[in-house]
Every structure is written in C-alpha cells, then in structure tokens.
Amino acid sequence: MLTRIKTLRPTYAVIDLPSYSHNISIAQHLSGRGEVMAIVKANGYGHGADRLAEYIMKKNGIKNFGVATISEAVKLREVLGNDVNITVMGYIDKNFYPEVYENNIILTVFDYYIAETYHKFLQEKDTNANVVIKLETGMNRLGFNTDNFDICGFMEKYDRFEISMFMTHLSSSDTDFEYTNLQMKRFDDFMHKNRLDYPTSVFNSSAVVNFRNKYTYTRPGIMTYGYVYADYEVDLKPVMRIYSKIVQIKCIKKGESVSYNRTFYALRDMTIGVIPVGYADGYFRCFSNRGHVYIDGYRCPVIGNICMDIMMVDITELPESSYSSDVELMGEHVTAEMWAEWAGSISYEMLCAISERIPRVYNSD
Ligand SMILES: *Cc1c(COP(=O)(O)O)cnc(C)c1O
C-alpha cells in the first residue's frame, strides 16, 4: 500500500495514530476530573476523522465526539456505531432534523429559532432528545447571552429537551488570560444564579493546557493534533507528516528565472529540484520564495512561484547521494507552525487545508 502510494505521485501524508492517542492521553490528564470530548470537525483537522475517532475510542476509551456539521456527524456515526455521543456544535438546518433523529446526534441549541423548530419536530415525533445549550460569554459567536437568558422559562417551555450539557466557547485562551477568566466567571455566575446542576463544558485546547479545568467535559482540538500555545513545555507529538520526492533535477545558469511570472532569478549557477506538490494540495502559493523543505539534513528553500501541482526548490547544496531521499514538506523539521508563519495564519488553517488529493497513510502500532 505505502509503496504504491509513494510511487503514485509521490506526495503523501503519514498520519501517526499512536501520536494522536498519546496527545489525547495528555489532554485527558490535563482535564483533571473532566472528561475529554474529542473535537474531530473538518475531517479531524484534515487528518481523517473516521480513523482517528475509531482509534481513540478503542485506545483511550473516548466516548464523546464533537463535530461542526450534520454530514460530519452522520459519517462518524456510521463508523463508530451507537455507543458514543456525537455532538454537532454548529448550525443544523431544520431540513436535517430527521438525520439528527435517525442518527441519535446531539444538537446544539444556541437561539430561540432553533429551540422552536427542533422542539416542534420532537413533538411531531412524540419523542425527547438530548441537546447542548450554548451560552454566549464573550466570543460573540453562537449562544444565548448569559445576561438575559431566561433558562427556567426556556426549560418549562421546551420540555422535550434533555439537556446533556451547558457549553460556552472561549475566544482567547491562548492570548488573553484575563478575558478567559472573565468568560469563565460569566458562565459560572449564570449556572450558579439559576441553580443549574448539569454537566458543563468550557475548555478548548489552550485552556486545557493553561488553566485548571473544573468542568465536566473539555473540548480539545488542535492540541490532540500536536500543536498548542503554552508558556511551558507540553509533550505533544505532531500527528501529520507530509513527504514527497524530487521528480526532476535541473542545472540552471546564473540569471535564469524559475516558474510562472519570473519572480525568482538565479544569482549564480544552481541546481534545482522539481517537487510534485502545489497549491491544489494545500501547499499555499504564498509560500513562494518564502517556505522551505527538508531533505536529508538540508534545508532547501522554495524558489519561484508555487504552481497548482508542482513547485521548485534550491538543491544546490544538497549532495547528489541525497537526490532520491524523502522530501519532508511537513514533519519533524518543518512544522505546521512554520507553515502558518509563512502564510500569516495559524496551524489550524494549514492542517485543514491539506487537500484530499494528498493520500493519507495511517500508521498504527
Ligand atoms: C473547534 C472548537 C473546539 C476546539 O478548539 P481547539 O482550539 O482546536 O482546541 C472546541 N469547541 C468548539 C465549540 C469549537 O468550535
């Protein structure tokens, strides 16, 4: 399998399942008495949600999964069977309530329109269902505002909802600890004031590593894939590595240009390697003349504009004996955080953007 994939193009991603399981263990440990709801939205941040979820269900005993859309949830249900909870944390159009019902998906209620339509659906089916109640505490994205939400009236009116948890989302647990504390206080005050004795969930990855969790569930995403912001060393392992090969070698003369639009000129005679990866694979065009790859201990800069399927690197310094070695696009020496720096973005976006055209090869133990 691996041999065929390596020769196919030959650009592929290795997804290391034991590293994912290791990161989940760290998250479990740092969650204190809280239980981990593994966040596998966006196809597991580009890693492949099915395989990851199945693996940690068995290895780590994870029973709760969070996704963003109904199609992600349905797909996961088919793979994981009926013994786990799957929560859609985002919006679900009412046309898809039948799928929510048939697949036993937990829906997130974050405003009265959803409450009204979903409750009506449940009445028509003459059934009850688990829901998450999402509270707004300062992200200003989804949720009922804690200042004026009449939760008692809500529960009386929508008596077919069985509340599986109260949730809020933190806006800046990686950059603003004071604001994070304020959001937690708003959440705690709301729960306390209304005497709500229900499961709760507040922490995302950076909260898990930077704060002490006291809530029922944590919701780590990015840290489980190996990246997080923390001001101390957290023993996380990147789960995705991406490799390719040099498929053609060229010697060019001083003064020649490379790739579309001639944005790179050789300042001396040089050797360049052509690598079959491009922006259609999620290797961003803005890495042109900025990024680098790693070959056998050598850092080789990307030169010229990155094309849709192909790019060029400077291998002048690389010994000939390394010409057929693996080209590390992302991995031990070139992290998703470096990619993010080149792109002016964050590791999350880099990982999610790795397109389906790059085959994922799964390492298990
Ligand atoms: C994506 C998401 C998470 C996970 O966030 P990370 O920063 O990746 O840990 C948690 N909760 C909600 C509601 C989310 O949308």
Write out the chain's pLDDT in tens, 365 residues.
677 887 788 999 999 999 999 999 999 999 999 999 999 999 999 999 999 999 999 999 999 999 999 999 999 999 999 999 999 999 999 999 999 999 999 999 999 999 999 999 999 999 999 999 999 999 999 999 999 999 999 999 999 999 999 999 999 999 999 999 999 999 999 999 999 999 999 999 999 999 999 999 999 999 999 999 988 999 999 999 999 999 999 999 999 999 999 999 999 999 999 999 999 999 999 999 999 999 999 999 999 999 999 999 999 999 999 999 999 999 999 999 999 999 999 999 999 999 999 999 999 97
Q: Where is the binding site, in residues?
A: 141, 308
CA of 254 to the centre of ligand 1 (A): 49
pLDDT for 5 equals 80
pLDDT for 7 equals 78
- Whole-number Å distance between alpha carbons of 233 and 211: 14
Of 204, 187, 170, which is closest to residue 31 (Cα–Cα)? 204
Q: Is 332 helix (H, G, I), strand (E, B) or coil?
A: coil
pLDDT for 8 equals 81
SS3 of the chain: helix, strand, coil, percent, to 5: 35, 25, 40
Number of Cβ within a 10 Å radius of residue 251 = 10
Contacts of 81 (CB under 8 A, 6+ apart): none
**Residue whose CA lies nearest to ligand 1 atom number 1:** 221
Choose which residue among 31, 37, 89 to substitute to test ligand 1 binding: the one with the highest number of ligand atoms within 8 A of its C-beta.
Answer: 89
Of 126, 131, 200, 210, which is closest to residue 169 (Cα–Cα)? 200
**Residue whose CA lies nearest to ligand 1 atom number 4:** 221
Which is the closest atom of ligand 1 to the Cα of 222?
8
Q: All domains of the chain, ordered by start, with CATH?
A: 17-225 (3.20.20.10), 240-363 (2.40.37.10)
Q: List the Cα angle 89/91/95 in 5-degree steps.
A: 130
- Whole-number Å distance between alpha carbons of 32 and 214: 7
Task: List, in sequence order, the alpha helices (H) in the chain.
Answer: 2-8, 17-30, 41-45, 49-59, 70-80, 97-102, 112-125, 151-157, 177-193, 205-210, 336-343, 347-353
Which is the closest atom of ligand 1 to the Cα of 167?
13
Put residue 127 in one of left, alpha, beta given phi > 0 → left and psi -120 to 50 → alpha. Answer: beta
CA of 301 to the centre of ligand 1 (A): 33
Which is the closest atom of ligand 1 to the Cα of 219?
10
* Global confidence as pTM: 0.96
Amino acid letter, residue 165: M
- Start-to-end C-alpha separation, the chain: 16
pLDDT for 348 equals 98
**Residue whose CA lies nearest to ligand 1 atom number 12:** 169
List residues near ligand 1 (CB under 6 A). 39, 41, 89, 169, 204-205, 219-222
CA of 147 to the centre of ligand 1 (A): 23
Contacts of 299 (CB under 8 A, 6+ apart): 292, 293, 333
pLDDT for 211 equals 97
Of 279, 277, 276, 305, which is closest to residue 290 (Cα–Cα)? 305
CA of 221 to the centre of ligand 1 (A): 6
198 is catalytic: no
**Residue whose CA lies nearest to ligand 1 atom number 15:** 89
41 is catalytic: yes
DSSP 157-213: H-TTEEEEEEEE--S-TTT-HHHHHHHHHHHHHHHHHTT--S-EE---HHHHHHS--
Which is the closest atom of ligand 1 to the Cα of 223?
9
Q: Where is the binding site for substrate, in residues?
A: 141, 308
Catalytic residue among 20, 41, 118, 225: 41
CA of 198 to the centre of ligand 1 (A): 21
